[in-house]
């Protein structure tokens, strides 16, 4: 399949009319062919209108048909073969194994949502039958979930497949019956076009309205904001920076009809080192920590950017071992020159900070990121907000607290996080029990004796957390729970069997449902 540099609107490839954009190969440090163009407002409008027009048809599909559509997308992505893998590698600087793994994750995600649709409980069917003899009589009431409407999805830079064109936001929105208008990330436009064409093919093969999916190309905040402002758009999925996410939140809140924004933005993912665990295995923890920190050149939402322990010889053991493991780390190509530049500025600020000591700082290079580790005191961390800001990349800050009370105080001071990790042994249980309620309030996922990179796609995953880790801590963007972001309940009172949606009929499909509030299969 050839990459033409076009947007995909209404199932047709069209050139944007705006400014040109090119992909950039961060390993070779050179721009790539072909030239893409930013779409104009008319093209955005057309994509959104087509999505709106497709909504009723698409959401009326049976769960089985929507499941087949999701699986067909996966098949079409696999059918792109090595052309896709090589383009992703070229556009991101990420190695083949990572990309092949991420492709597997992306296809697996689509299958997971297909299975969720077939299982059917996502409909949240509730049936309270009429009680004609009650005083006053109770009407027949039945409820189900329907999609919100067309969803604008913004692809992420750091997961060119799993959080991009056919990634988790797209898969869960489509599963919910919502057409998707996708804003491709300008750092991997070729990857986006390839996957976008696979999706258009799947739309055709399944005989769906072309408006079910559109791919918008280009760069700049203008098109994203115009997309979020469009009246046909009913929700937003976004993975990116805090500034980008909060800008979209502001646009969405200022609309005549405000809409929900699910933005996954920033997290420093604190790791708490409990005293007994630290005493027993400071070096082991340090080794695993270093491995997690440099994974994907640190370009993970769940990168462990903060480590908190009580000052003393045991924490020194950890710090020394981690510094040793990281100091020899090579500078690796980051996803884009912009990301590398931000990382190096963030590292330089920490290195020059009066209250911060550098533990490890491998030599940086243009467009690359090399591991960096710093240490500060609990008092300094508590008094200076800048020390808790995310440095996206393989850098982390150790906070040496004067005692466990200060460690808990630091936990309490943190902003919302995607994850919080405890390194603990049996003897640390009492301290962990004190910390746990704080961590529950601060994070969407709490880990014991692991590291937060590696986000399993499953039913029990929460990849989300209180603001500013996401815009909406009531949600997850990974795992089956992601579908509820794009659903709303509708109740039907005294509708005849003929008028009721099939899933609510007396002889409807055997999905899980609540009768008088009680879950049952029948």
Q: Residue 139: is the preceding peptide bond cis (ω within 30°)?
A: no
- Best CA proximity match to 483, nearest among 198, 121, 199: 121
456 catalytic per annotation:
no
Q: Rounded to whole angstroms, what are the CA distances from 419 to 242, 336, 439?
A: 16, 25, 9
Of 13, 83, 85, 446, which one interacts with its own copies (CB under 8 A)? 446
Distance CA 522, CA 518 (A): 11
Of 22, 276, 492, 505, which one interacts with its own copies (CB under 8 A)? 492
**Taking contact as CB under 8 A, which single stretch among the options 28-36, 213-221, 293-301, 453-461 is the one that binds its own copies?**
453-461
**405 binds its own copies, rule: CB under 8 A:** no
Round to the nearest angstrom and report the end-to-end CA distance of the chain: 47
Give the bridge partners for 31, in sequence order. 24
**Taking contact as CB under 8 A, which single stretch among the options 6-14, 187-195, 224-232, 488-496 is the one that binds its own copies?**
488-496
Q: What's the token pair of residue 80?
A: 């792109």
**17 binds its own copies, rule: CB under 8 A:** no
Q: Which of residues 317-376 bind its own copies (CB under 8 A)?
A: none
Catalytic pick among 301, 390, 415, 431: 301
Q: Which of residues 39-68 bind its own copies (CB under 8 A)?
A: 55-56, 60
**447 binds its own copies, rule: CB under 8 A:** yes
Q: Rounded to whole angstroms, what are the CA distances from 324 to 77, 82, 289, 371?
A: 41, 38, 12, 11
Q: Which residues of 47-83 are buried (b: 16+ CB within 10 A; e: fewer)?
A: bbbbbbbbbeebbebebeebbbbbbbbbebbeebeee
Distance CA 399, CA 348 (A): 18
**Taking contact as CB under 8 A, which single stretch among the options 35-43, 225-233, 253-261, 287-295 is the one that binds its own copies?**
253-261
Please list the alpha-helical segments (H only) found in 6-95. Answer: 41-59, 63-79, 82-92
119 catalytic per annotation:
no
Between 87 and 116, how does the x/- string for binding to its own copies read (CB under 8 A)?
----------------------------xx
- Residue closer to its own copies by CB (options 23, 274) is 274
- Residue closer to its own copies by CB (options 148, 362) is 148
Q: Which of residues 134-153 bind its own copies (CB under 8 A)?
A: 136, 138-139, 141-143, 146, 148-149
- Residue closer to its own copies by CB (options 16, 466) is 466
Distance CA 264, CA 477 (A): 8
| Number of amino acids touching its own copies (CB under 8 A) | 80
**118 binds its own copies, rule: CB under 8 A:** no
**519 binds its own copies, rule: CB under 8 A:** yes
**251 binds its own copies, rule: CB under 8 A:** no
**121 binds its own copies, rule: CB under 8 A:** yes
**397 binds its own copies, rule: CB under 8 A:** no
Q: Which of residues 172-201 bind its own copies (CB under 8 A)?
A: none
Of 257, 354, 386, 510, which one interacts with its own copies (CB under 8 A)? 257
Residues 6+ apart with CB under 8 A from 362: 326, 327, 328, 329, 330, 331, 370, 371, 372
Q: Which residues are catalytic?
A: 264, 301
């Amino acid at each position: 399949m050839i990459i033409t540099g076009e947007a995909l609107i209404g199932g047709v490839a069209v050139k944007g009319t705006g400014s040109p954009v090119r992909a950039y190969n961060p390993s070779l440090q050179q721009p790539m062919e072909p030239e893409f163009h930013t779409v104009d407002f008319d093209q955005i409008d057309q994509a959104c209108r087509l999505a709106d027009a497709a909504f009723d048809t698409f959401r009326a599909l049976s769960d089985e048909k929507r499941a087949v559509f999701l699986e067909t997308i996966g098949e079409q992505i696999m059918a792109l073969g090595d052309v896709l893998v090589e383009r992703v590698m070229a556009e991101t600087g990420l190695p083949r194994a990572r990309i092949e793994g991420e492709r597997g994750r992306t296809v697996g995600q689509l299958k997971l949502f297909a299975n969720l649709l077939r299982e059917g409980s996502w409909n949240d069917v509730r049936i309270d039958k009429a009680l004609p003899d009650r005083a006053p009589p109770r009407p027949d009431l039945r409820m189900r979930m329907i999609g919100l409407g067309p969803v604008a999805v913004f692809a992420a830079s750091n997961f060119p497949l799993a959080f991009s064109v056919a990634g988790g936001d797209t898969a869960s929105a489509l599963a919910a019956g919502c057409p998707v208008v996708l804003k491709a990330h300008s750092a991997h436009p070729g990857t986006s076009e390839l996957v976008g064409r696979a999706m258009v093919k799947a739309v055709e093969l399944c005989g769906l309205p072309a408006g079910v999916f559109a791919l918008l190309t280009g760069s700049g905040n203008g098109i994203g904001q115009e997309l979020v402002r469009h009246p046909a758009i009913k929700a937003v999925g976004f993975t990116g920076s805090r500034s980008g996410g909060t800008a979209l939140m502001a646009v969405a809140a200022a609309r005549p009809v405000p809409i929900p924004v699910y933005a996954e933005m920033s997290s420093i993912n604190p790791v708490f080192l409990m005293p007994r665990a630290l005493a027993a295995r400071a070096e082991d923890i340090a080794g695993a920590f270093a491995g997690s920190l440099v994974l994907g050149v640190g370009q993970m939402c769940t990168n462990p950017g903060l480590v908190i322990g009580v000052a003393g010889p045991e924490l020194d053991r950890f710090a020394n071992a981690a510094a040793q493991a990281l100091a020899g780390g090579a500078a690796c190509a980051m996803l884009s020159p912009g990301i590398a530049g931000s990382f190096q500025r963030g590292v330089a600020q920490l290195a020059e900070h009066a209250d911060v000591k550098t533990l490890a700082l491998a030599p940086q290079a243009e467009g690359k990121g090399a591991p960096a580790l710093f240490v500060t005191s609990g008092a300094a961390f508590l008094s200076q907000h800048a020390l808790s800001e995310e440095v996206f990349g393989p850098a982390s800050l150790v906070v040496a607290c004067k005692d466990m009370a200060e460690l808990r105080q630091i936990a309490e001071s943190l902003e919302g996080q995607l994850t919080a990790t405890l390194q603990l042994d049996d003897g640390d249980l009492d301290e962990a029990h004190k910390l746990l309620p704080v961590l529950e309030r601060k994070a969407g996922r709490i880990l014991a004796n692991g590291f937060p990179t590696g986000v399993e796609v499953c039913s029990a995953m929460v990849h989300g957390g209180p603001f500013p880790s996401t815009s909406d801590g009531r949600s997850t963007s990974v795992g089956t729970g992601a579908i509820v972001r794009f659903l709303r309940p509708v109740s039907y009172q005294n509708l005849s069997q003929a008028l009721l949606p099939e899933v609510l009929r007396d002889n409807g499909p055997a999905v899980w449902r609540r009768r008088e509030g009680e879950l049952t299969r029948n």
